[in-house]
């Protein structure tokens, strides 16, 4: 394995019908680093994230996560097996904008689902892990609650715990605060910040520019299916070189004045 | 006496109580039997219809749509009179009746099952696959437990209708409740009383069942 890089994406293409969504995206995420992807909606950010754990099947390109590698393109049209895809996904945690908790399971059941169903872990062992993770995201007392009885922020924290239960090598976060009431955003960002401090490799698609500034090691600006520009947050967010990046960020600067971090 | 001068007279029916009860028993037996057989047919068809392989789904679509889009009465008559000619074998009335009723209701169950599974949000698939579940595991642990809840109300409705559907087998001389009614009519020349009684019996069986179904539906809605 090449030293350092935990995720390596080379020249990734993806179209939905005639709509070309990714037009040759390359990205390198170092082990233990956090990369934030910002950009206007429809720029392909979420599709890129969904391709990294193969929820979408890329048309062309090359993805490596940890020591698992996949190539896509002509001549490699052979359909990958369900088993191979599942194993690939089990190693990459993903958290979604709309939580997607399993409504027929309690918070504890949601977190235990991966270990018991996918890893076939004994229930007792899985429960210990799940309770520890719920405590970690500050929801030890909500283990028995069903998702419909949790707030948005609580649901998203359960979803993070559910992803962590598979002990993933990377976490992919897809606009995880976009569906939350403003006053609930902080509790979710707090959990993500803690993960970053613990050295979790993360790819975060976000609209929270201030949060990206604070937590990310690298910020990439995506527009129209390509990564236009990337760099350390202080550079990309404060002195962007590309006019498209500047145009996009101008909106945020106007409203926020300065980057003061999440509140 | 009524305005039209017809003298309603129901007491003679008592003498035919044995025939009426045996007819009711046949009706109920066909209802339960074909619901169970139809459920097996519908379950297999509905789940296979979710396949992405058109070699599997195409014949099932043909089956479902043929049975949904032609009248049940025509199907019964066709299976009893035409199919034996096509196959060159003799098909007894009770076999034709069971076969058609099961395939007919099975087609509706298949759509209920397929619709129930498809009604579960895509995000549930995403989340389950993202933690590494395989298709079969997603189906069993995430999709079906939620989908079954949504299938129950339409399943109950279709099953209640099935009791009425069985009355059509009387046309090929299966001795159900309606058929016994025609026999009694032939013997007594009092069709008005006989068919009124038949209607009342169907109603007395079905009305409590519809109330029970509503109750279940309400309870399911509350559990959401």
Angle at B152 between CA B212 and CA B47, to 5 degrees: 155
Smallest CA–CA separation between A193 and chain B, in Å? 22
CA B173 to chain centre: 19
Secondary structure class of A24 (helix, strand, coil): strand
Q: Which of A50, A82, A104 sits opposite B145 (nearest CB)?
A: A104
Structural tokens at position A117: 């169903």
Q: Are A56 and A12 in contact (CB under 8 A)?
A: no
Contact: A163, B131; criterion CB under 8 Å: yes
Model pLDDT, residue A176: 92
Measured between CB atoms, does A179 come within 8 Å of chain B?
A: no
Continuous segment of H or E residues that includes residue B180: helix B177-188
Beta strands A226-231 and A68-72 are: unpaired
**Radius of gyration from C-alpha coordinates of chain B:** 22
Model pLDDT, residue B104: 97
Model pLDDT, residue A3: 54
ipTM confidence score: 0.89
Q: Which of B131, B132, B146 sits opposite A103 (nearest CB)?
A: B146
Smallest CA–CA separation between A91 and chain B, in Å? 8
| Cα gap B26→B180, rounded to integer Å | 10
Q: Find chain B residues with C-beta within 8 A of A113's C-beta.
A: 128, 131, 133, 141-142
Q: Are B121 and A94 in contact (CB under 8 A)?
A: no
| Cα gap A89→B106, rounded to integer Å | 37
Model pLDDT, residue A94: 96
Measured between CB atoms, does B131 come within 8 Å of chain A?
A: yes
Mean pLDDT of each 10-residue bin along chain A, 263 residues long: 78 94 94 94 93 92 90 71 86 94 96 96 96 96 96 96 95 93 91 94 92 92 94 90 89 58 44
Smallest CA–CA separation between B133 and chain A, in Å? 6
Q: Are A207 and A175 in contact (CB under 8 A)?
A: yes
Contact: A55, B129; criterion CB under 8 Å: yes
Measured between CB atoms, does A169 come within 8 Å of chain B?
A: no
CA-wise closest residue to A231 among A245, A247, A218: A218
Q: What stretches in chain B show pLDDT beneath 70?
A: 1-3, 224
Q: Are A23 and A224 in contact (CB under 8 A)?
A: yes
Q: Are B124 and A102 in contact (CB under 8 A)?
A: yes
Model pLDDT, residue B203: 96
Q: Which of A90, A103, A148 sits opposite B131 (nearest CB)?
A: A90
Measured between CB atoms, does B150 come within 8 Å of chain A?
A: no
Q: pTM score, two decimals?
A: 0.84
Model pLDDT, residue A139: 96
Contact: A86, B123; criterion CB under 8 Å: no
């Amino acid at each position: 394995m090449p030293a350092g890089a935990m995720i390596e994406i080379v020249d990734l293409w993806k179209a939905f019908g005639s709509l070309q969504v990714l037009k040759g995206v390359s990205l390198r995420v170092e082990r233990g680093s956090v990369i934030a992807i910002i950009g206007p909606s429809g720029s392909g950010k979420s599709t890129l994230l969904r391709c990294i754990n193969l929820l979408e099947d890329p048309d062309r390109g090359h993805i490596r996560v940890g020591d698992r590698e996949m190539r896509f393109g002509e001549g490699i049209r052979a359909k990958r097996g369900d088993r191979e895809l599942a194993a690939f996904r089990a190693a990459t945690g993903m958290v979604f904008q709309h939580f997607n908790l399993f409504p027929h399971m309690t918070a504890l059941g949601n977190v235990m689902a991966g270990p018991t169903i996918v890893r076939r872990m004994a229930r007792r062992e899985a429960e210990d892990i799940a309770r520890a993770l719920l405590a970690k995201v500050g929801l030890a007392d909500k283990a028995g609650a069903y998702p419909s009885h949790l707030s948005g922020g609580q649901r998203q924290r359960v979803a993070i715990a559910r992803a962590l239960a598979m002990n993933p090598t990377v976490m992919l976060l897809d606009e995880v605060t976009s569906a939350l009431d403003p006053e609930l955003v902080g509790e979710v960002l707090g959990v993500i910040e803690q993960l970053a401090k613990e050295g979790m490799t993360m790819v975060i698609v976000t609209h929270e520019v201030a949060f990206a500034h604070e937590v990310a090691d690298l910020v990439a600006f995506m527009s129209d299916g390509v990564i236009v520009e990337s760099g350390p947050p202080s550079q990309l967010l404060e002195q962007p070189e590309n006019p498209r990046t500047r145009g996009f960020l101008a909106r945020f600067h106007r409203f926020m004045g300065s980057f003061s971090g999440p509140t | 006496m009524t305005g039209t001068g017809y003298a309603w007279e129901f007491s003679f029916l008592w003498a035919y109580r044995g025939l009426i009860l045996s007819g009711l028993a046949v009706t109920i037996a066909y209802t339960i039997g074909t619901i169970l057989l139809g459920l097996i047919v519908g379950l297999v068809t509905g789940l296979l219809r979710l396949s992405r392989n058109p070699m599997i789904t195409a014949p099932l679509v043909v089956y479902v749509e043929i049975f949904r889009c032609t009248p049940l009465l025509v199907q019964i008559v066709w299976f009893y009179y035409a199919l034996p000619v096509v196959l060159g074998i003799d098909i007894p009335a009770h076999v034709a009746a069971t076969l058609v009723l099961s395939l007919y209701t099975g087609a509706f169950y298949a759509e209920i099952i397929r619709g129930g599974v498809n009604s579960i949000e895509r995000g549930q698939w995403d989340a389950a696959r993202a933690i590494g579940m395989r298709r079969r595991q997603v189906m069993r642990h995430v999709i079906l437990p939620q989908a079954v809840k949504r299938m129950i109300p339409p399943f109950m409705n279709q099953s209640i209708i099935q009791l009425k559907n069985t009355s059509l087998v009387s046309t090929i001389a299966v001795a159900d409740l309606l058929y016994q009614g025609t026999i009694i009519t032939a013997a007594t020349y009092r069709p008005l009383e006989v068919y009124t009684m038949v209607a009342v019996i169907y109603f007395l069986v079905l009305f409590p069942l519809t109330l029970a179904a509503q109750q279940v539906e309400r309870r399911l809605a509350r559990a959401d």
